[in-house]
């Protein structure tokens, strides 16, 4: 694993007056770039060509410069890492870093300095570890089951990793769950690996919010900065409708 001493050695060569904030262009990037700009930092968006126009359409939140890649794992290439280090880049990681690059790669192969503890990114990508954290924090969580029949009712089936709700669904029985998994694999929505690594949880109806927490090293406290409503296609018109097309019963965050 990349050590703190190795990162400190790289940081020692940085021009502290020219620090640049960078991250992968996913939805969280808009808030990161906007905040970094307000604090006076230059910003770089790690982006595929297909996404660039989307981020250009947000004048207050688009990055100052792009690092265009064919695949997000390209950032593991030594030349691209050297390019970022020469520009005094500090990476702000988020869920898409875990999903697209992989926590093991970030721990073992990615030497660009990152904000926070990169070891925690493994926890970001594994639901069992996430749950362990939340339980230790004393939070109330949906019940979790090994099989659908344990629940005695409907369950919410989640895939592993940071997928933004993509591929999630409700099931009412073991047969119903397996049928829906097979259909999603057949349609290419999920992979065979995804279908064999699901989390079965109690289905809890209600309004979904995405709360942004931040631990302040200055004030030694956890702060709640903001809150998004999680808009999913199923929220808009079709929740509970028996006639809704399957493609509208979608929990992908939009």
- For residue 140, the enclosing domain spans 129-205
Regarding whether 119 and 58 lie in a shared domain, the answer is yes
Q: What percent of the chain has pLDDT over 90?
A: 47
Regarding whether 83 and 144 lie in a shared domain, the answer is no
Regarding whether 75 and 52 lie in a shared domain, the answer is yes
Q: What percent of the chain has pLDDT over 70?
A: 92
The CATH number of the domain where 71 resides is what? 3.40.50.20
Q: What share of the chain is helix, strand, coil (3-state, %, to 5)?
A: 40, 20, 40
Regarding whether 109 and 201 lie in a shared domain, the answer is no
Give pLDDT, residue 236. 60
Number of folded domains that form the chain: 2
Strand 169-171 to 144-145 pairing: unpaired
Residues 6+ apart with CB under 8 A from 251: 165, 166, 168, 169, 232, 234
Give pLDDT, residue 239. 61
Choose the final residue of a domain: 89, 124, 159: 124
Is the pLDDT at 25 greater than 90? The verdict is: yes
- Domain contains 211: no
- Domain contains 75: yes
pLDDT, tens only, 163-213: 667 778 888 899 999 999 998 889 888 888 888 889 899 988 777 777 888
Regarding whether 117 and 44 lie in a shared domain, the answer is yes
Regarding whether 116 and 14 lie in a shared domain, the answer is yes
Regarding whether 116 and 133 lie in a shared domain, the answer is no
Is the pLDDT at 137 greater than 70? The verdict is: yes
Regarding whether 120 and 133 lie in a shared domain, the answer is no
Regarding whether 184 and 141 lie in a shared domain, the answer is yes
pLDDT top residue among 150 and 232 = 150
Choose the final residue of a domain: 70, 102, 124: 124
Alpha-carbon dihedral sign for residues 80, 67, 76, 216: positive
Is the pLDDT at 235 greater than 70? The verdict is: no
Q: Which string of b and e fits 205-235 if b means at least 16 CB within 10 Å?
A: eeeeeeeeeeeeeeeeeeeeeeeeeeebbbe
- Domain contains 210: no
pLDDT, tens only, 62-95: 999 999 999 999 999 999 999 999 999 999 998 8
């Amino acid at each position: 694993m990349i050590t703190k001493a190795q990162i400190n050695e790289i940081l020692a060569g940085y021009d502290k007056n020219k620090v640049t904030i960078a991250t992968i262009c996913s939805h969280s990037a808009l808030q990161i770039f906007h905040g970094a700009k307000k604090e006076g930092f230059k910003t770089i968006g790690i982006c595929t060509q297909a996404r660039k126009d989307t981020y250009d359409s947000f004048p207050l939140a688009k990055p100052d410069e792009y690092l265009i890649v064919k695949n997000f794992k390209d950032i593991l290439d030594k030349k691209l890492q050297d390019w970022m280090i020469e520009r005094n880049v500090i990476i702000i990681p988020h869920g898409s870093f875990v999903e697209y690059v992989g926590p093991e790669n970030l721990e073992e192969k990615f030497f660009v300095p990152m904000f926070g503890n990169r070891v925690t990114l493994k926890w970001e990508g594994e639901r069992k570890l996430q749950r362990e954290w939340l339980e230790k924090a004393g939070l109330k969580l949906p019940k979790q089951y090994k099989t659908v029949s344990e629940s005695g009712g409907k369950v919410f089936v989640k895939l592993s990793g940071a997928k933004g709700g993509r591929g999630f669904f409700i099931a009412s029985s073991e047969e119903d769950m397996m049928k829906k998994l097979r259909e999603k694999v057949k349609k290419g929505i999920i992979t065979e690996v995804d279908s064999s690594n699901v989390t079965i949880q109690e289905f809890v109806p209600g309004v979904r919010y995405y709360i942004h927490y931040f631990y302040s090293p200055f004030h030694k406290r956890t702060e709640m900065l903001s809150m998004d409503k999680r808009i999913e296609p199923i929220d808009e018109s079709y929740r509970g409708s028996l006639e809704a097309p399957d493609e509208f019963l979608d929990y992908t965050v939009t």
